[in-house]
Amino acid sequence: MIKKTIDAVSDVTGKIAAWSAVFMMLLIFASVMGRYLFSKPILFADEVSGYLLVFHCFIGAAFGVKAGRYIRVDEIFVKRMRTRVQAWLELITWIISVFPVAIFLWHSIIWTIEAYESNYTAGTILLTPMWIPYLMVPVGLSILLPQMLVQIYKAIKTLQNFTPADNVAEVNHD
């Protein structure tokens, strides 16, 4: 039940992130067209597109993890290892990865609260209260962290499904 909920939240935030990229692209396109056709760019386009980029990356991160759409560097070595060793490496990697994400989440919460309490604003045309774009980081990481825990759960389940016969079969095929 919890796993399904986390996966569903990741799916929804993935769709939201995709639409934010479309909106960012349209905003930049409109600003460029305004600049070249009418000599009137959208003055806040750069600022808002920067915020949207942060939003897109952090809100979409959990979906990227769920869908396996992240950078992997295991093609050369790990793919040549036995399946059980690959599963163990997957589990260890996810466990190790949780800690820096949790630390980053904690610090981003503090960072956002400090920006809110100090009324810190961007020195731009919109005078954006910076806690708003800063908030995207802890929100995104709060969605990413449970998805990473789901990946740990999946890795454990994969390891539990191995049988001694799997190891014999692998040795015979090498």
Instruction: Provide the pLDDT confidence category of residue 171 given band limits of 50, 70 and 90.
Output: very low
Does residue 117 form part of some domain?
yes
Return the higher-pLDDT residue of 85 and 163.
85
Does residue 166 form part of some domain?
no
Does residue 147 form part of some domain?
yes
Q: Would you tell me how many other CB atoms lie within 10 Å of the CB of residue 33? A: 12
pLDDT of residue 20: 93
Mean pLDDT of the chain: 88
Determine the structural domain holding residue 157 and report its residue range: 2-161
Q: Considering only CA atoms, which of 109, 127, 141, 101 is closest in space to residue 43? A: 127
For 11-38, write each residue's pLDDT tens digit. 999 999 999 999 999 999 999 999 999 9
Q: In the chain, how many domains are there?
A: 1
